Amino acid sequence: MNQMRERAHQRKVDRVKEQMVENFKAANASWQTEQARMQETFLGFSDQRQALIKQLMQAQGYAAATESFGRSADRAIALATEAQFGNSEARLALTEQSVLKQGARNMNKIGAQAYAADVAAHGTILEGPIPEMAQTTYQGSGFNHGLNSALKIGQGLISGAKFGFAIDKHFGTVPGTGKG
């Protein structure tokens, strides 16, 4: 019975090992998916940044081609154009930071879920099989066996004495006196 329990426990251990490998595979696939999502998002940001630079260059070219006169007018137009670009660039940088933070939260969540799944799987095998001793039939201890024998002998003596008294009554002798 103990060997059967040990084999059953070993099968559970093997299943837990397989489950932990599957947990890792699932977590790894989720991590890769999250990384790919972040890379695609940052590629989009790169395209947006290129569009902003192109827009800045067009605005600077337009400002240079206008008929505004004087250095102050040129400087005001350049500052307005660059301020608009800086504002757009700052918004894009904040969005990138937000994506990075969300990506880190998602990765931590995936890691926590994988850890919880491993702990749950491992919890099923924390305790191994408890061996049992073979059951024996009760034969009593030597003391009880001797006591039982003494009681039987005592009962036999009492029965014998009663029988002896009964016989003596029939034959008219009083036990212990020898008189009839």
Residue-wise pLDDT for 107-134, tens only, equals 999 999 999 999 998 888 877 777 777 6
Hey, is 153 helix, strand or coil? Answer: helix
Q: pLDDT, tens digit, for every residue of 47-85? A: 888 888 887 777 767 666 665 556 666 666 667 777 777
Indicate the pLDDT class of residue 36, thresholds 50, 70 and 90: very high
Sequence-distant (≥ 6) Cβ neighbours of residue 164 within 8 angstroms = 175
Q: What was the pLDDT predicted at 15?
A: 93
> Per-residue confidence at 26, pLDDT binned at 50, 70, 90?
very high
140-173: pLDDT as tens digits: 555 555 566 667 777 777 777 776 666 666 566 5
Question: What is the rounded CA–CA span in Å between residue 112 and residue 106?
Answer: 10
Nearest to 33 by CA among 103, 102, 100, 99: 103
Residue 114: count of CB within 10 angstroms of its CB: 19
- Report the 10 Å Cβ neighbour count for 103: 17
pLDDT at 91 over 70: yes
Mean pLDDT for the chain?
78
Res 24 pLDDT > 90: yes
Report whether pLDDT(7) > 70: yes
pTM value is 0.53
Q: What share of the chain is helix, strand, coil (3-state, %, to 5)?
A: 80, 0, 20
